[in-house]
């Protein structure tokens, strides 16, 4: 499994882009996790084949996690994609994506040269796609957010989306090879956001092998750089990725 960080920042971070990862599983399935405002331009820097992307996962319906979908869909049309594109998320994902597409490019959905296949995955359910097993868990966030576990039969990845870990997150993410987790602040200041300290506790409790911290508030990333660097030095299995970081599992 290969994990490429397209962006690692929060909604307003102009330097690090909106958090999004492109996951290539052992069987070769390519999944884009979240597609916010800045993601499509960054994605197409590394993608010149319109058919290589298999699926988009949307963790929740905040703009920095799905308002890039209209541009992604438009550009794939422009590049003459021919394969169906799976778009997965919680209940209502089809309606939200279609509304955003029509708002951005009214009537354009009818012109697409490839099908959109929507897949809803709720906590407690399991979905299979091309040898990939997907399960979800609800986190603690201001808008309903689902963390996603991707299992390709060899490696497991947990992608948090946004939000502080709920009581069920540790159970879903237990023993995973990598967790990509939102850490907005150093400590638990916001009830609906994760933190560096909270992610470290989760990693220890769930025996997570590697942890990547994303969505760090831009002021914290800049002003607390020394503290973050010391934290990483004390925890060698933890990383603070930047755009273009690649982790192979």
> Can you point out the beta strands (E) in the chain?
2-7, 20-24, 30-33, 55-58, 85-89, 116-120, 126-129, 132-138, 146-151, 156-159, 178-182, 211-214, 238-239, 246-248
pLDDT tens digits, one per residue of 83-112: 999 999 999 999 999 999 999 999 999 999
User: Residues 97, 66: contact at Cβ < 8 Å?
Assistant: yes
The pLDDT > 70 percentage for the chain reads: 100
Neighbour order of strands in the sheet with 238-239: 126-129, 132-138, 146-151, 156-159, 178-182, 211-214, 238-239
Instruction: Kindly give, in sequence order, each residue whose CB lies less than 8 Å from that of residue 61, ignoring residues fewer than 6 positions away.
Output: 92, 96, 143, 144
Torsion angles phi and psi, residue 78, rounded to 5: -60, -35
What pLDDT, on the 0 to 100 scale, is given for residue 238? 97
Q: Does the pLDDT value for residue 155 go beyond 90?
A: yes
Give the residue-averaged pLDDT of 244-249: 97
Q: What is the maximal distance between C-alpha atoms in the chain?
A: 53
Domain ranges (residues) in the chain: 2-241
Q: Does the pLDDT value for residue 27 go beyond 90?
A: no
What pLDDT, on the 0 to 100 scale, is given for residue 212? 98
3-state secondary structure at position 108: helix
pLDDT tens digits, one per residue of 194-246: 999 999 999 999 999 999 999 999 999 999 999 999 999 999 999 999 999 99
For 60, the token pair is 């929740």
Residue reference for tokens 């009830």: 191
pLDDT tens digits, one per residue of 174-184: 999 999 999 99
Q: Which of 157, 84, 156 is nearest to 114 (CA)?
A: 84
pLDDT tens digits, one per residue of 2-11: 999 999 999 9
Angle between helices 93-104 and 69-78 (to 10 degrees): 70
Q: Does the pLDDT value for residue 26 go beyond 90?
A: no
Superfamily of domain 2-241: Ribonuclease Z/Hydroxyacylglutathione hydrolase-like (3.60.15.10)
User: Residues 86, 53: contact at Cβ < 8 Å?
Assistant: no
Q: How much is the pTM?
A: 0.97
């Amino acid at each position: 499994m290969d994990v490429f960080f397209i962006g690692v920042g929060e909604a307003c971070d102009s330097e690090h882009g909106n958090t999004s990862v492109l996951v290539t599983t052992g069987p070769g399935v390519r999944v884009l996790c979240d597609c916010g405002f800045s993601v499509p331009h960054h994605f197409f820097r590394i993608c010149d084949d319109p058919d290589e992307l298999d699926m988009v996962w949307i963790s929740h319906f905040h703009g920095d996690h799905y308002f890039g979908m209209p541009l992604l869909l438009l550009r794939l049309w422009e590049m003459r994609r021919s394969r169906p594109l799976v778009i997965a998320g919680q209940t209502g994902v089809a309606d939200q994506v279609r509304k955003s597409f029509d708002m951005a490019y009214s009537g354009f959905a009818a012109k697409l040269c490839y099908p959109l296949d929507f897949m809803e995955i709720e906590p407690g359910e399991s979905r299979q796609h091309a040898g990939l097993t997907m399960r979800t868990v609800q986190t603690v966030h201001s808008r309903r957010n689902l963390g996603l576990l991707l299992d390709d039969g060899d490696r497991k990845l947990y992608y948090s989306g946004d939000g502080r870990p709920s009581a069920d997150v540790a159970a879903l993410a237990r023993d995973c090879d990598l967790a990509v987790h939102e850490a907005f602040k150093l400590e638990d200041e916001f009830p609906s956001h994760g933190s560096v300290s909270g992610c470290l506790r989760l990693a220890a409790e769930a025996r997570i092998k590697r942890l990547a911290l994303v969505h760090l508030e831009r002021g914290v990333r800049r002003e607390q750089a020394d503290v973050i660097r010391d934290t990483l030095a004390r925890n060698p299995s933890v990383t603070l990725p930047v755009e273009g970081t690649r982790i192979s599992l």
